[in-house]
Chains A and B, each alone.
Chain A
Amino acid sequence: MAAICSCKTGMGNHGQPSCIDTFARDARLMFVQYKSDAGVINSIKSTDTLDQTFWDGKFNNTDISQRFFLTPTINSVVGERAESVKQDVDGISFNVRQGVRTYDGTFYGGVASPEYQAALETMSCQTVGFFIVDVAGNIIGMENDITGDLDPILIQRNTLDVMYKFPTASEVQSMKILFNYEENESDADLAFVGKDNISVDMLTQSAMSTVVFSTATAISTTGFTTTMAFLYGEVFEKAAYEGAVVGDFTLFNETTALSVTVLTAPESPAGTYALTFAAQTAADILTLSYQKVTGQGFESKTDLSITIP
């Protein structure tokens, strides 16, 4: 964090360049676990090449502790920092500590669904940070004075609150997200990577999506059928996941502890896949998972269990 007042370096100069690049209002947020499981801050480094490959790696990282979770467009952001906490002594108001900064933004329309609320609330017990993507495509975070990296802004744990609001005759459905910045995060450290140094349009990037399997049917020793759908949509008719790639399925024989190659996975009708594989032994238990990490990412969070008849 920035030194608020240093007796060693004295006062800072007030001169500024004639033209200063600045960031704009918020458009999207990128949440990330503040530190990876290896204990490293999930920063954007000055040496990183911020191209499509880099962002695909961030949004689809197979290590969830390093994955960036990009939100849809957020509006009505009105986060403010409260006035500093003061102590009045003999009529003198002494500064004790900076006030808390709150983040208050709202998602509107179809993306502000109850299903998305569930996804956001999974962050509530984590130590999470976030970057802001502004309307110009800049990325805002916290400059790390020691490493020079752009760190995520640390969120005060257990302050995340998500509130869904029903649509009305005059308003679309919406969802408000509220949280506090970690108490030691200083506004003086806010910094950004300019869009000119990012070779993709951050406003059109896609986040990883969760897909779920239906119970397997037509099970034989060499295949079975399952459907894949998103978490979103009608309860009995979730939106089908179309275009699954055969090489992105992972099948494992739990009985023999051996992986099983999925040979084919034709899709018919939309979202229904007939998987085939080399013959397995009766009563063996297989588990199926799916993870697509190139381009827009998709993954199954829960494996499908299949018992060979």
Chain B
Amino acid sequence: MSRLEKKDINPIVGTYSYQKIIDLFGDDGKHVAKLMGVNKPKLEKKKKVKGGE
């Protein structure tokens, strides 16, 4: 099967979370998320706490 294009995807998918898209679309998940403009959430880095106890 040829690769999905944006017109093939239900616009409602654009409202889904990145993880939901990955779960629903499996191998195509990253491609679909990119087409629909859904970004992978950035992990917050732990801030180093200076000093303290």
Contact = CB atoms under 8 A, between A and B. Distances in A.
A16 interface: no
Interface string A250-272: 00000000000111111110000
B8 A246 contact: yes
Given A261-B10, A264-B10, A265-B10, 12 more contacts: A246-B7, A246-B9, A246-B10, A263-B9, A263-B10, A263-B25, A264-B4, A266-B1, A266-B2, A266-B8, A274-B1, A278-B24
- Which interface class (under 10, 10 to 19, 20 to 34, 35 or more) fits A? 10 to 19
A229 B12 CA distance: 26
A259 to B, nearest CB: 11
Interface in B1-29: 1-2, 4-5, 7-13, 24-25
Contacts of B24: 263, 278
Per CB-CB distance, the 10 closest pairs between chain A and chain B, nearest first, are A266-B8, A246-B10, A264-B8, A264-B9, A247-B10, A263-B10, A247-B11, A278-B24, A264-B4, A262-B10
B26 to A, nearest CB: 9
Main secondary structure, interface of B, reads helix
A263 B1 contact: no
A263 B5 contact: no
A174 B19 CA distance: 59
Contacts of A247: 10-12
Contact of B8 (A261, A265, A278): A265
Contacts, number: 32
Contacts of B25: 263
Contacts of B32: 264
B4 to A, nearest CB: 6
Contacts of A262: 10
A143 B17 CA distance: 56
A262 B7 CA distance: 13
30 contacts: A246-B7, A246-B8, A246-B9, A246-B10, A247-B10, A247-B11, A247-B12, A261-B10, A261-B12, A262-B10, A263-B9, A263-B10, A263-B13, A263-B24, A263-B25, A264-B4, A264-B8, A264-B9, A264-B10, A265-B8, A265-B10, A266-B1, A266-B4, A266-B5, A266-B8, A267-B8, A268-B1, A268-B2, A274-B1, A278-B24
A175 B24 CA distance: 51
Nearest to B12: A261
A247 B13 CA distance: 10
Nearest to B21: A263
A274 B9 CA distance: 11
Interface in A271-308: 274, 278
A263 B8 CA distance: 8
